[in-house]
Amino acid sequence: MFETLPAPKLDGIIGLMQAFAADTRADKIDLGVGVYRDAQGRTPIMRAVKQAEARILEQQDSKSYLSLAGDAAFLTTMEALLLGGAVPSARVAAVGTPGGTAAVRQICELIAKVRPGATVWVSAQTWPNHGPLIAAAGLKARPYRYLDAEAGALDRAGMFADLGAAQAGEVVLLHGCCHNPTGVDLSPQDWAEMGALLERTGAVPFVDMAYQGFGDGLDADAGGLRHLAARLPEVLIAASCSKNFGLYRDRVGIAMVVVPEGQRDAMAATLAGLNRQSFAFPPDHGGRVVSTILGDPMLRAVWLEELDEMRARVQTNRRALAEALRDASGSDRMGAVAAQQGMFSILPLSEAQVTKLREDDGIYMLWDGRVNMAGMDPSRAGDVARAVAEVMRG
């Protein structure tokens, strides 16, 4: 039956992870996959997570099925984390999903249920898996301008000009914060303008929130999402707890939809039905860790302290690389890197230059020049910058 099945091309990020793991050079540097690393290059289990897990191990007395939406406490604590009371709970439907990836997929399936083949506007540079997830649900991705590569900043005029053509029945995918891969975010004024544009066009926003807490802090990072939720009748949301709780392999995500008053129950049942068709019950362990932390003031304080440490470290790495790039290249061409947000930035490198850095220097980054600041200790910033400057000189 499957004798003619071709082997698909491996996802680029996953391929890079495998290549890095197989590289035997001791001084290799992983700026590829978006995973946090400490000064020793480890991705530690967060202290609050360990404590919550100990409590769960001690107290949990059953692993029988829960509802298709998952643990109710996970859903309500995540609603508060994301929306901060911006809309009444009577307008919010949500289900747990295996990670943020499945949340994106479930929201795409939801869109396809009511608008098969609908257009989803995506920033021209985006997470490489957005396109495949949108296509897998039979939807069409359409790019809008986002990055002004020369300035390393938002192409505001281009973005709003392109999205001015969005229509009712179409969807606009936005990164809640810490845009992946550019590190360029919307300002509060940009979010307000986006809200006005969506109101005018009738297109529905779809906010992907994978890095809450890694930009300016938990509430500030959700400011744009909360503005849209308070202003518009419908908002689609996919969120991940991989990064801010360090729960990567436990797969903790949530698909959430803000609807007009009176439509919540139908939406909640639809999302539950979508879960039933793909994996039935979302994994429970990681979600329970999250709700245990968010629901306990002491554990929450421990978590916040560590999240603050992680954010500060990523910012320190970012500044160290920006400074080292200036010193090594003798120019300020990549100076904007210092002001960008979250784990990622794009360096102005060709795919051939990226390959050369990997092969000659053991420096791993995505094919489009995306670097993960969290993967680099400041002590290695000089090595990275010198190699980048050299490859750019040709």
Burial of 297 (0-12, 13-18, 19+ CB in 10 A): exposed
Please report how close the Cβ of residue 238 comes to ligand LMR at its closest, in angstroms. 12
How far, in whole angstroms, is CA 332 from its chain's centroid?
28
What secondary structure, in 3-state letters, does 136-169 show? HCCCEEEEECCEECCCCEECHHHHHHHHCCCCCC
34 contributes a contact to ligand LMR by CB under 6 A = yes
Q: Does 176 bind ligand LMR (CB under 6 A)?
A: no
Q: 26 — phi, psi (to 5°)?
A: -70, -30
Shortest Cβ distance from residue 303 to ligand LMR (Å)?
20
Q: Residue 345 interacts with ligand LMR (CB under 6 A)?
A: no
Residue 15 vs 164, nearer CB to ligand LMR:
15
Would you state the torsion angle of the CA atoms of residues 11, 17, 22, 24, taken in this order, to the nearest 10 degrees?
140
Q: What angle do CA 183, 185, 189 make, to 5 degrees?
A: 165
To ligand LMR, the closest distance from the beta carbon of 32 in angstroms equals 7
Between 13 and 192, whose beta carbon lies closer to ligand LMR? 13
From the list 127, 191, 303, 367, the catalytic residue is 127
Residue pointed to by tokens 């954010």: 311
Cβ count within 10 A of residue 132: 12
- Check: CB of residue 95 under 8 Å from CB of residue 67: no
Active site residue 121: no
Q: Is residue 210 flagged as an active site residue? A: yes
Pairing between β-strand 235-240 and β-strand 253-258 as defined by DSSP bridges: antiparallel
Among 51, 106, 126, 129, binds ligand LMR (CB under 6 A): 129
Number of residues that bind ligand LMR (CB under 6 A): 6
Query: Residue 125 or residue 291: which is nearer to ligand LMR going by CB?
Result: 125
Minimum Å distance from CB 372 to ligand LMR? 7
Active site residue 367: no
In the complex with ligand LMR, the residue whose CB is nearer, 34 or 283, is 34
Pair of tokens at residue 155: 């192409």
Catalytic site residue 243?
A: yes
Q: Which is nearer to ligand LMR, 11 or 199 (CB)?
A: 11
Q: Which is nearer to ligand LMR, 180 or 340 (CB)?
A: 180
Contacts of 347 (CB under 8 A, 6+ apart): 325, 334, 337, 365, 369, 371, 388
Q: Rule CB under 6 A: say whether 230 interacts with ligand LMR.
A: no
C-alpha distance across the termini of the chain, in Å: 50
- Is residue 127 at the binding interface for ligand LMR, with CB under 6 A as the rule? yes
Single residue of 123, 125, 180, 291 touching ligand LMR by CB under 6 A: 180
Marked catalytic residue, from 103, 137, 203, 210: 210
- Phi/psi for 179 (5° steps) reads -50, 130
User: Smaller CB distance to ligand LMR: residue 129 or 292?
Assistant: 129
- The contact pattern for ligand LMR, residues 5-24, with x = CB under 6 A and - = no contact, is --------x-----------
Smallest gap from Cβ 34 to ligand LMR, in A, equals 3
Of 296 and 368, nearer to ligand LMR (C-beta) is 368
For residues 53-92, which are near ligand LMR according to CB under 6 A?
none
Q: How far is the CB of 37 from ligand LMR (least distance, A)?
A: 13
Catalytic residue among 52, 243, 303, 361: 243
Q: Considering only residues 33, 56, 66, 73, which one is a binding residue for ligand LMR as defined by CB under 6 A?
A: 33
Q: Which residues of 261-287 are buried (b: 16+ CB within 10 A; e: fewer)?
A: eebbeebbebbbebbeeeeeebbbbbb
CA distance 2 to 63: 37
Q: Taking the complex as a whole, how short is the minimal distance between the CB of residue 129 and ligand LMR, in angstroms?
A: 6
Taking phi over 0 as left and psi of -120 to 50 as alpha, with beta for the rest, 296 belongs to: beta
Q: Please give the distance of CA 272 from its chain centroid, rounded to a whole number.
A: 23
Query: To 5 degrees, how large is the angle CA 84–CA 88–CA 90?
Result: 130
Which is the catalytic residue, given 71, 208, 221, 284?
Answer: 208
Tell me how far apart the alpha carbons of residues 11 and 163 are, in angstroms, rounded to a whole number. Answer: 28
Q: By the criterion CB under 6 A, which residues form the site for ligand LMR? A: 13, 33-34, 127, 129, 180
| Active site positions, annotated | 127, 208, 210, 243
